Amino acid sequence: MPRYTPLIRSLPSTVPFVGPETQERMRGRPFAARLGANESVFGPSPAAIDAMRQAAAEAWMYGDPENHDLRQALAAHHGVAPANIVVGEGIDGLLGLLVRLLIDKGDAVVTSDGAYPTFNFHVAGFGGVLHKVPYAGNHEDPDALIACAREVDAKLVYIANPDNPMGSHHSGEVLERMVEAMPDGALLILDEAYVELAPNTAIPRIAVEDPRVIRMRTFSKAYGMAGARIGYAIGAADLIAAFDKVRNHFGVNRIAQAGALAALADTAWLDHVRQQVQSGREELSSIARAHGLTPLPSATNFVTMDCGADGAFAKAVLGELVRQDVFVRMPFVAPHDRCIRVSAGTEQDQALFAAALPKALAAARG
């Protein structure tokens, strides 16, 4: 037997999320609406699709390991230097690298109970000790996160703004105060995966060289390129340079680099997606209300719907939706697991959801 490290021996062969394809194989038939993973059904920018198609024939070449052109464009976009940006294989990949940079066995990390499971997966994967604070209602609780970080001497603190799975958000001012309150030696991960779909007021003004915070962005959500695997982090140049110690230098695929560059330039498409998402959220919220559910306000591309009872009930509703070929997910942790979470879809997707929901509720109640 290979001699695994003690840490590896202690880890389960776990999967943070079961993919919809896995469910389709288990069910023996495809989903009719794919509204569970907060993907952007509106797709990538046509310019990004063109760029990726063109890059497909050039896929014999490794991608630029410096991601130079994209970093230049992102730097201009954010008004920072290219040295403040590292591009990686999605936020998931960047979170893994960041945890590896800071977390040794036993080091303390703080997050919210019910926040992004893949972050927790990475922390466990490097032997970190996770400390979880409860949400304050449907919002992550900056004060509780900070207090816990102080108490446990955390090296890393995670917050998503807007939040997944609740769809809530804090104003940029709240995040700015959170950065100011960070205890010495703790780094704040501000996961802004959904921020392009939030009000502008959700974006904090943080000096890019502020050593207390690193921001994560992605082309997976508003830019509709989840399958291309490309995201980036913005932070102090020293911290960004540290990624070079451990990152897979040739790991970002060439097709994604080309697509992201084109996607970033197509601001009209981003505006279009924002509008589609906003209408989608409104319609999903109406559908929810029409059937007695409470849609939560959302600054993301999904609507979290309070089913008005406990986790078992929401789980039954979700099961019935899936049975009717509508892929949705739900929060894992109480009390959020009273909800289901539905991504904004096409008109057809949302019509399928609207038709399936009352049947699912009836079945769950009966």
Binders of a copy of itself in range 258-297 (CB under 8 A): 259
Question: Token pair for residue 203?
Answer: 């974006």
Query: Is position 191 an interface residue for a copy of itself (rule: CB under 8 A)?
Result: no
**CB nearer a copy of itself, residue 82 or residue 142:** 82
Query: Is position 11 an interface residue for a copy of itself (rule: CB under 8 A)?
Result: yes
Stretch that binds a copy of itself, among 12-20, 159-167, 199-207, 317-325 (CB under 8 A): 12-20
Query: Is position 49 an interface residue for a copy of itself (rule: CB under 8 A)?
Result: yes
Nearest distance, CB of residue 69 and a copy of itself, angstroms: 9
Stretch that binds a copy of itself, among 62-70, 164-172, 305-313, 316-324 (CB under 8 A): 62-70
Binders of a copy of itself in range 131-160 (CB under 8 A): 155
**CB nearer a copy of itself, residue 19 or residue 199:** 19
Give how far Cα 271 sits from Cα of 44, 171, 185, 198, 249, Å. 12, 21, 39, 12, 33
Number of residues interacting with a copy of itself: please give it, by CB under 8 A: 85
Residues 6+ apart with CB under 8 A from 337: 310, 311, 314, 315, 330, 331
The correct pick among 132, 249, 274, 315 for binding a copy of itself (CB under 8 A) is 249
Query: Is position 239 an interface residue for a copy of itself (rule: CB under 8 A)?
Result: yes
Stretch that binds a copy of itself, among 161-169, 197-205, 242-250, 356-364 (CB under 8 A): 242-250
Query: Is position 196 an interface residue for a copy of itself (rule: CB under 8 A)?
Result: no
Map residues 90-129 to x or -, x wherever contact with a copy of itself holds by CB under 8 A. Answer: x-xx--x---xxxxx--x----------x------x----
Nearest distance, CB of residue 289 and a copy of itself, angstroms: 28
Q: What whole-number distance in Å separates Cα of residue 147 and Cα of residue 51?
A: 46
The correct pick among 15, 309, 334, 362 for binding a copy of itself (CB under 8 A) is 15
DSSP-derived secondary structure for 91-155: HHHHHHHHHHHH--TT-EEEEETTS-HHHHHHHHHTT-EEEEE--BTTB--HHHHHHHHHHHT-S
Query: Is position 53 an interface residue for a copy of itself (rule: CB under 8 A)?
Result: yes
Q: What whole-number distance in Å separates Cα of residue 258 and Cα of residue 139?
A: 36
* Cβ 360 vs Cβ 321: under 8 Å: yes
DSSP-derived secondary structure for 183-206: PTT-EEEEE-TTGGGS-GGGS---
The correct pick among 66, 176, 306, 325 for binding a copy of itself (CB under 8 A) is 66
Binders of a copy of itself in range 290-329 (CB under 8 A): none
Q: What whole-number distance in Å separates Cα of residue 361 and Cα of residue 120?
A: 32
Q: What whole-number distance in Å separates Cα of residue 334 and Cα of residue 346?
A: 30
Question: Token pair for residue 3?
Answer: 């001699």
Give how far Cα 159 sits from Cα of 132, 233, 286, Å. 11, 14, 29
Nearest distance, CB of residue 347 and a copy of itself, angstroms: 16
Which H or E element spans position 210? none
